[in-house]
């Protein structure tokens, strides 16, 4: 019975192919838009979180000043190596504490030159960033202590200065400093803040202080938190210690900022999800429009086939069979629209993931839900026309012109 009804519904749809396609166009656009927006939204969220995770896992970044500004226009007090030693020795739950001094310079190799970012740090930087070496080695304690002119370079530096040559063991001039290249970092790509992580030259922080910045200040402290400890409690302990070291008492505002990469990742993920939800809700309006289109065309179909309905009722068909026939036609129309919409969404996601630089994702759960909603729209918006057809009086229907 049901299979016969489906066959009749498909036959009726085939009789009016253009009208049927225009009827389901709203469903097609709605399903395609919703699935595309949700899928790309999830892909963007995952991309942002993975980029931030590339900065390191469970990392606290401590910077002078309030937020990303200078805090009331005053020059923020820089950190000292004593602050780093105090955090390392007095705060529980800390895996590594890494001082950082940053500068920029032009690196020169033979006839090639390239502008690079210089990071003065320790070998714990690689541990905190969970970064490995493609070749070579890290700094030795003796090199760090003496401030030797040695460096580890990123892949972008290698690409622009060495043209495929192995840089390890060569001498690279960075600014006015000639340093021995002892290591090459594994390629990592863009950071969550849009910078090129591979365009860095790592040196012992004492070397950078002495040869580039000319002072003993530390511009940034990176703290890796042990997974067994809560980031928030460790952050509060560090804040209390730094307030004591920097003579911040009473209700005075901190003159430093502690950023938690996990919190940043969660916040950006939540913001992206909310934006995706808003855009998806707007796109879903076309589903309602498509449902109204199905209701309208089904009402027209009932009017056109009034005599046919009258004949069926006159020869013994019951009202529920007529209702089922028109309801199945409506559901088949909306389901076909849903399937076409899913196909278009797949093509759109595959095509847009490349220029958007996000991973291609295809989530079965979202597609099943979208298809189920499209079928449900056929039931909701097709019930009234189907009910109207089932309620026709056979005698009046046979007299209809």
Determine the pLDDT at residue 331. 87
Contact criterion met (CB below 8 Å) for 35 and 348: no
> DSSP assignment of 286-331, as one string?
HHHHHHHHHHHHHHHHHHHTHHHHHHHHHTT--HHHHHHHHHHHHH
CA atoms within 13 A on the CB side of 331: 18
Question: What mean pLDDT is predicted for residues 295-308?
Answer: 82
The chain-wide mean pLDDT, for the chain, equals: 83
Structure-block tokens of residue 355: 């220029």
Q: Could you tell me whether strands 200-204 and 112-121 are parallel, antiparallel, or unpaired per DSSP bridges? A: parallel
Say which range, 1-5, 16-20, 335-339, has the weakest mean pLDDT.
Answer: 1-5
Question: In whole angstroms, what is the distance from residue 9 CA to residue 22 CA?
Answer: 17
190-211, pLDDT tens digit by residue? 655 556 788 999 999 999 999 9
Give the start-to-end residue ranges of the domains of the chain. 2-51+266-399, 78-254
Cα distances (angstroms) measured from residue 256 to each of 59, 68, 128, 221, 279: 16, 10, 21, 11, 37
Residues in CB range of 301: below 8 A, 6 or more apart: 12, 326, 329, 385
Determine the pLDDT at residue 111. 84
pLDDT at 292 over 60: yes
Q: Confidence band (pLDDT; 50, 70, 90) for 55? A: low
Determine the pLDDT at residue 318. 75
Cα distances (angstroms) measured from residue 36 to each of 21, 41, 301: 21, 8, 32
Q: Confidence band (pLDDT; 50, 70, 90) for 363? A: confident
Question: In whole angstroms, what is the distance from residue 8 CA to residue 29 CA?
Answer: 26
Q: Could you tell me whether strands 200-204 and 177-185 are parallel, antiparallel, or unpaired per DSSP bridges? A: unpaired
Residues in CB range of 239: below 8 A, 6 or more apart: 254, 258
Report yes or no on whether pTM surpasses 0.85: no
Residue located via tokens 């000292």: 80
Reduced to 3 states (helix: H, G, I; strand: E, B; else coil), residue 104 is: strand
Q: What would you report as the CA-atom Rg of the chain, rounded to the nearest whole angstrom?
A: 33
101-131, pLDDT tens digit by residue? 999 999 999 888 999 999 999 988 988 888 8
Q: What are phi and psi of 285, to 5 degrees?
A: -60, -35
Question: What mean pLDDT is predicted for residues 59-88?
Answer: 76
Determine the pLDDT at residue 142. 93
255-280, pLDDT tens digit by residue? 888 888 777 777 777 777 777 777 77
């Amino acid at each position: 019975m049901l299979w016969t009804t489906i066959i009749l519904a498909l036959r009726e749809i085939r009789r009016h192919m253009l009208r049927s396609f225009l009827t389901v166009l709203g469903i097609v656009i709605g399903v395609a838009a919703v699935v595309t927006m949700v899928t790309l939204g999830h892909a963007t969220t995952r991309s942002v979180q993975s980029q931030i995770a590339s900065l390191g896992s469970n990392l606290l970044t401590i910077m002078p000043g309030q937020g990303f500004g200078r805090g009331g226009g005053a020059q923020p007090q820089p950190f000292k190596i004593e602050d780093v030693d105090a955090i390392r020795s007095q705060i529980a739950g800390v895996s590594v504490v890494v001082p950082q001094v940053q500068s920029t310079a032009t690196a020169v190799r033979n006839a090639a030159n390239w502008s690079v970012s210089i990071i003065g740090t320790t070998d714990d930087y690689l541990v905190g960033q969970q970064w490995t070496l493609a070749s070579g080695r890290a700094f030795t304690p003796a090199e760090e202590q003496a401030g030797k002119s040695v460096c580890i370079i990123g892949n972008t530096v290698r690409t622009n200065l060495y043209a495929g040559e192995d840089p390890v063991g060569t001498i690279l001039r960075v600014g006015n400093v000639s340093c021995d290249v002892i290591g090459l970092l594994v390629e990592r790509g863009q950071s969550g803040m849009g910078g090129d992580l591979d365009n860095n030259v790592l040196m012992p922080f004492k070397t950078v202080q002495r040869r580039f910045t000319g002072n003993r200040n530390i511009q940034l402290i990176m703290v890796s938190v042990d997974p067994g400890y809560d980031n928030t409690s460790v952050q509060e302990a560090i804040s209390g210690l730094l307030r004591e070291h920097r003579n911040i008492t009473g209700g005075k505002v901190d003159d430093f900022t502690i950023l938690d990469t996990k919190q940043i990742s969660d916040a950006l993920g939540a913001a992206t999800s909310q934006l995706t939800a808003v855009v998806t809700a707007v796109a879903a309006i076309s589903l309602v429009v498509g449902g109204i289109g199905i209701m309208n065309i089904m009402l027209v179909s009932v009017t056109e086939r009034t005599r046919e309905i009258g004949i069926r009722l006159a020869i013994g068909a019951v009202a529920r069979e007529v209702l089922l026939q028109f309801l199945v036609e409506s559901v088949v129309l909306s389901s076909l629209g849903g399937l076409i919409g899913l196909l278009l969404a797949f093509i759109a996601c595959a095509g847009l993931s490349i220029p958007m630089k996000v991973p291609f994702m295809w989530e079965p759960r979202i597609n099943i839900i979208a298809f189920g909603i499209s079928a449900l729209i056929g039931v909701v918006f097709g019930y009234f026309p189907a009910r109207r057809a089932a309620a026709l009086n056979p005698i009046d229907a046979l007299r209809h012109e």
